Structures are given as C-alpha cells and as structure tokens.
Structure 1
Amino acid sequence: MSEIQIGLLMLGAVIIALVFAFNTFQEWRFRKRTRQAFARHHADVLLDVPKNHVRDGKQERLEPVLLQDDDDTPAYLNDTPPTHAYHAPVEAELPVHEDSADDAVMDAADHQALIIALLDPSLDFIAEVVFKQPLQLSSLPRFNVAKRVQAILRSERGLWTPPELLPGIRYKQVNFGLQLVDRGGAVTEQELASFCQQISHYAEQFDAEVSFPQRQQKLVAARELDRFCADVDVLIGINIVSPLPISGARLRSVAEAAGLQLEPDGQFHYLADSGNSLYSLTSADQTPFTMHNLLDKSFPALTLLFDVPRVAGGAAVFDRAIAFAQQLSQEFNARLMDDNRRELSGPGLAKIREQLVRIYGNMDDRGIAPGSVAALRLFA
C-alpha cells in the first residue's frame, strides 16, 4: 500500500471520527435542552398531592378514614372547560332582548345586578374595553387561554347584557373576565400576560380604550385563593362491596326509586332543584352505566361520590347520601368500605361528618358558600 493510500485512509478515519464526535456533541446538547425544557420545579402531582385533593381536574377522591384534623386545552369565550364529571351549568338563564317590551325587565335593578355578577372581581381578572363611539358588534373574540373567559356588554342605553349579541343594538363597552382559579390551579403570569395581549389586540381593532387591574396584585390573590381551595377541595368516595355481583337491572330499579337518574357521564346522580348534582353513584371499576349494560351486566362493586365544595346543603345532604349508601348495603347484602377495603363504621362516618362541618364553616367564613355560583366555578 502506497503512502498516498495510507494517508487517504488516515484522513478518512479522522473525518469519520470528527463526524462521530460532532454527532455525539449534538445529541448531548439536545438531551441537555430537553431535560431543561421538561425539568420539574414543583411537586409531582401523582406522588406528593394528598388523595383528598381534587385539583388539576383529576378525580382523586378522599378515603374517608383519612379525614383528620391536620391538614392545557384552550378555553374560549362562553365555553366551559371540559370535565369528566357531570356538572350542571353554572350561569342562570338571562333574558337578553332589549326592545321596548323588555325595557322594564332590563332596567330592573335586580336583573342588572345579576348580569354584573357574572363577573366577580374576587374570582376574575376583569379587562374593560370602552369604545369611543357606540357600535354594533357582529361577534366577540375567542381567547386562546386555559381558563374560563366570560363577558358582559354595556349597551348604548347604559344597560348591561349577557354576551349574546343582538342585531340593531349598539354597545359602548365590553368587560372580559378571565377566571383566576379553577381545579387546574391558579392562573400563571404567562397566561395573564397572553390574555392582556389578546385583549389589547382586540381593542386596537376598534381604536378602543382598554384598562386592566394591577397584574401582580391579582396574581398574588390568585395564588392565595388557590391555596384555600386546595384545602377544602375533597371528593369523598364510599364503596359498596357485595359478596356477589350486583345486577344492573336491580341496581337501576333501586337507584331510580331513591330519586337518582342516569346522566350522560355514565353515573346515577341525585340532582337538586337547580340541576346541580348533590351526590352520584358509579361503578367501582369505572365502567360507565348505560341503559344497555344495566339490562344484562352485573357489577362487582359500587362507589358513592360526594363532591364536598360543590354541594349546597352540606352535612344534611351528606346524611342523605349516607342513608342511601346504607340502603344499598342492605339491598345487596353489601358492606360500606373505604378505598383500602376497610369497613366504615358508624363512628367513622360520624367523624367524617364533623370534618365536613368544619370544611363548610371555613368556606362560609371565606364567603364562598358550598354549592354557590362561586363554588361551582372554582371547583369545576
């Protein structure tokens, strides 16, 4: 082999080594950036969050024996963030017509107060957009944010209306409210900045004036409110465990006789007159109930769910739920158990009730009544 051939081989080997080294360096740099991008600077929600918390939209539930004395899909205007649990609509139905026949209704102080209450400064970051001249609006903007956004409009006559736009009506102001806290946690600084930017862009299209609350104060308030919500956000689950599979047909008969009805989420719900769920019954293995499988399927066990902060009537409703659970236990020769398969006794249930009274007292002291509009918004 000539010296030239040997030199070319050596040069080729060096080039191959350099290419390999460069690729190795690129791979190391990519992995480093990936680790930085996905590094967690917070607690692992699956490992560190107590089971009695129902935050981040996860339906983890409280094991009754653990009740002790210690302690990003876009959402758009008028859209409700999707949840796996059945939730009745929060907002009340409001008339929106503003012709002469409805003037008395629209002018009524209580009606105006109801519309204005759709946005709550203690729950929402409220941006005010004021047009220089009243104008007709063909649509309202959609916001690419992870929290609920609601709007109210002020007409040329000075009356506040819900966000349903009517032809022939001119508006001089729109208020947009970004909800500060929900079960996904508190709004972040980046989310708030994005919302403000989108609002400013909308106002610029109409050469309108826009005003915002003080951001840092709202962020601090949101974090404090989220901490409070985490303390009271619990979902109680009581298992009804029978030695024999529970007939779906018989279960449906018992549930409906007790006033529960099957809802689209695949659970039986006991509903208040308002349509809100007070407690629900589901299959312990998460199999949704349907009219079809209730006819020919049996279920190994059942779970009664009580979503604490969303229930108006508090301890009295809990008593009713427990009475229904005990009725099921008698009907199916079953036992009431926690998630660790430990039997729930009368004294244990009484202790849970005491804890519920304490939680509801804390909510009342905070001014967030269980089952109220504010509670349904915060715990959705």
Structure 2
Amino acid sequence: MSDLQIGLIVLGVALIVVVLGLNWWQDRRVRNKMQATFSPAQEDPLLGDAAPEPVVKTKPVKKAAPVPTERVEPAWQSAATDDAAPEADDEDVFRREPAVGAGTVSRVDEDQPDTAVEALIDLGFARPVPGRDLLPLVRELDRVGQKPLRVFLRTVDGDQFLKLRLDRDYVSLQIAVLLANRSGALTASEWAQAWSRAERIAEQLDASIEGPDPAHVAEHARQLDELCAALDTSVGLTLVPQRPQPWRVAEVLAQAHDAGFVEGTDPDRLEWRDERGAVRFVLVHPASEARGGAVAGRVSLLLDVPRHAASDTAFADMAHVARQLADVLEAGVVDDNGQPLADGSEGAVDAHLRRLYGQLAENGLKAGSPRAVRVFA
C-alpha cells in the first residue's frame, strides 16, 4: 500500500470523526436548550409517572417527538361463552395496558379538562379580560388537524366554564387537546398548531403560557392510541332485499321509526335508544347510500361497542330489531362477513361483548361514556 493510499485512508477516518463530533455537539446543544426550557413535574396526569411540568414558554413549539400514525384495528372474533364483566363505577381510571389491577382513580367531569385523554395548554392573563374581547380569539380554537379542542375559561370569581359568556370577565383559559381518536395519535404537527394558536392569544393579551414537554405529550398520545386500537370494535348487521325491486327510502324510514328508531345528531343515521335514552345501536340512513334518495339497495345496523351504551344483550337486541325489519321489508339478515345470521348466535356474541365492555371500563373508557365517545370518534 502506497503512502498516498495510507494518507487518503487517514484523511477519511479523520473526516468521519469530525462529522460524528459535530453531530454529537449539535445534539447536546439541542438537549441542553430543551432542558433549559422545561422543568420537571411532580406527577403526570395521564400515567402517574414522573414527568416534565408545564412552564412558561415565549415561543411556539416547532418540534415534538414523532408519533406513530398507522393504526391497526382489531378483527372481530366470536366467543363461545363468557361471564358478564363487572361494570365499573363513574370514577374510572385510565391505565397504560388493558389489564386488570388497581390504579389511581380519577373522576371524569365534563366541566373540567379530562387529563387522562387531553393535553393542556394554560394561559394566565395579566389582567381580567372581558368576554367580548376573548370571543374573536377563541373562535378558532375548535380543532387542529383531526383532533378537537376544548376551551375552559376561568372567571375572576374562580368559576370555570366550557362556554364563553360576554358579560363575564376572565383571568385564564385552558386549551384541552385530545391525545388520540380514530384518526390516530396526536401528531407533532397537530400539537405545534395548537401551541401556535395559544401563543398568538398570549401575545395579544400579554398572557403567560404553559404547556408540557412535546415529547411527553407524544408518548402519552402513542400509549392512548395503542390502548384504544386494542379495544376498538364494532358489529354490524345488514338487511338485503329478497324481492326484485329495491326499497323506497320513505318505506324504510317509516318501518324503522315503527321499530323504535328515532332521529339523532347525525343526519345520516337513526338511533335506537333504551329506556334511559342511551344510544344502543344505529341504522345507517339509506338515503345517504341511494342516488337521489329515492331507493335503497340495503340497510345496515351498527353496534359501535365503545361509543354505544353497554348491555348484557346488546347484540341480541340489535339482531331482534333487524329480524323485525327484515320481516316487514322482505329481507334477509347477514353479518359483517356476508353470511346469514344464524339462529342462536346472539349468546356467543354477547358473551364476547361483555368481556370487551369490562376491558373498556377497567381502562377508564366505559362504553358510551363522554370520554369514550370523545376518544372513539
């Protein structure tokens, strides 16, 4: 090997060492800057572990830890038998994994931010701000990307409200950012958008702004998304016409109302509710699937397990209503796999659903609760 070759090798090694050293120095500089920005907290509201505490920020967050966006939904599986799972009380707890065991109990109050499934950005005003001055600033705080926002406002009297009143003066507000829903975990971009909007308000009102470590938010969002994906299940039944001509939409709607369905918040769906008014399952509005809303080729009933109220006979009730409609509409009933609904299958399916209801309740996501409806949207 010539002296030239040896020299080139030495030079290459030296260049590699220089590049590695430069990368290490830049990484250390970024870490030191982040540590100087955020201070440690006493306890994390989502997981209960030690975590960084919100501190005053003066610039919007530009980067956050990457969050997995791919979501894998569980496949439906039937069970032969199972005992009814115990129903959790209103003081449910969110835990990292869908496993049994005791944990710290937290009450879910719709008038308060839900720290189990929402990350909070706090703004404190230097002086009371009239509601009419806040109104144009909070109008844009509805959602970021695919994640909804909730705004909680505190008055000078210490009362906290979800809705702004023009005749009140406010001393602070909190922006609650949903950590995960069926679109996936909260992304770094969505969190940065929320922070940027909060900072614009803080600059206009000369307010302090506090928020958690973006990397910590991303980790919470990832864990919540994984948990919800493991518990997310829906069961459907479809009515298929057995007569040559398709149904008229008006006929389907009339028979659906006679079977107990009522109009709901979604214009494309009718709701079947129990005696307490809780939604148990829905009928997909046939007009949304038909050209011009004149005819319909099939009708679908859907039981959204996390979003609809739990019942020991959830699937059996839906199957009973589906068969009633099938009789008057001259239709057959098939399951999600396109197979005819077998007589006596309701017991096995409901046994499996009871187990899922129990897992949801154990993990603080009681079926049909406001928290579950918010997360499984």
TM-score (norm 2): 0.64
Q: Which residue of structure 2 aligns with residue 122 of structure 1?
A: 116
**Secondary structure of residue in 1 paired with 2:115:** coil
**Secondary structure of residue in 2 paired with 1:148:** strand
Alpha-carbon deviation of 1:370?
0.5
Q: Which residue of structure 2 aligns with residue 191 of structure 1?
A: 190
Alpha-carbon deviation of 1:302?
2.0
Q: Which residue of structure 2 aligns with residue 222 of structure 1?
A: 221
Q: 1:238 touches 1:337 (CA, 8 Å); kept in 2?
A: yes
Q: Which residue of structure 1 aligns with residue 77 of structure 2?
A: 67
Alignment match of 2:297 (pick from 292, 300, 303): 300
Structure 2 unaligned runs (5+)?
1-66, 80-107
Q: 1:283 touches 1:301 (CA, 8 Å); kept in 2?
A: no
**Secondary structure of residue in 2 paired with 1:279:** strand
Superposed counterparts of 1:110-259, under 5 Å: 114=109, 116-117=111-112, 119-137=113-131, 138=133, 139=135, 140-141=137-138, 142-143=140-141, 145-146=144-145, 147-167=147-167, 169-244=168-243, 245=245, 247-248=247-248, 249-259=250-260
Alpha-carbon distance in 1 for matches of 2:256, 2:330: 16
Alpha-carbon deviation of 1:364?
0.5
Alignment match of 2:372 (pick from 358, 361, 375): 375
Alpha-carbon deviation of 1:362?
0.7
Q: Which amino acid aligns with 1:176?
A: I
The one-character-per-residue Cα deviations of 1:67-110 (angstroms, maximum 9, x if unpaired) are 257xxxxxxxxxxxxxxxxxxxxxxxxxxxxxxxxxxxxxxxxx
The one-character-per-residue Cα deviations of 1:331-365 (angstroms, maximum 9, x if unpaired) are 34433212443222134333222221111111000
Alpha-carbon distance in 2 for matches of 1:194, 1:257: 47
The one-character-per-residue Cα deviations of 1:101-150 (angstroms, maximum 9, x if unpaired) are xxxxxxxxxxxx95642x11111111111112222242233247211111
**Secondary structure of residue in 1 paired with 2:340:** coil
Alpha-carbon distance in 1 for matches of 2:203, 2:69: 41
Q: Which residue of structure 2 aligns with residue 341 of structure 1?
A: 338
Q: Which residue of structure 2 aligns with residue 76 of structure 1?
A: none
Tell me: higher relative CO, structure 1 or 2? Use CA pairs within 8 A at least 6 residues apart: 2
Q: 1:208 to 1:315 in 2, by over 3 A?
A: same
Q: Which residue of structure 1 aligns with residue 306 of structure 2?
A: 309
Alpha-carbon deviation of 1:213?
2.3
Q: Which amino acid aligns with 1:127?
A: I
TM-score (norm 1): 0.64
Structure 1 unaligned runs (5+)?
1-40, 53-65, 70-112
Superposed counterparts of 1:10-21, under 5 Å: none
RMSD: 3.1
Alpha-carbon deviation of 1:250?
4.1
**Secondary structure of residue in 2 paired with 1:193:** helix
**Secondary structure of residue in 1 paired with 2:323:** helix
Alpha-carbon deviation of 1:43?
9.0
Q: Which residue of structure 2 aligns with residue 279 of structure 1?
A: 281
Alpha-carbon distance in 2 for matches of 1:223, 1:176: 20
Alpha-carbon distance in 2 for matches of 1:334, 1:247: 10
Percent identity between the two aligned chains: 24
Q: Which amino acid aligns with 2:253?
A: R
Alpha-carbon deviation of 1:265?
2.8
Alpha-carbon distance in 1 for matches of 2:242, 2:74: 27
Q: 2:315 touches 2:346 (CA, 8 Å); kept in 1?
A: no
Q: Which amino acid aligns with 1:153?
A: L
**Secondary structure of residue in 2 paired with 1:314:** coil
Alpha-carbon deviation of 1:377?
0.5
Larger Rg, first or second structure (1 or 2):
1
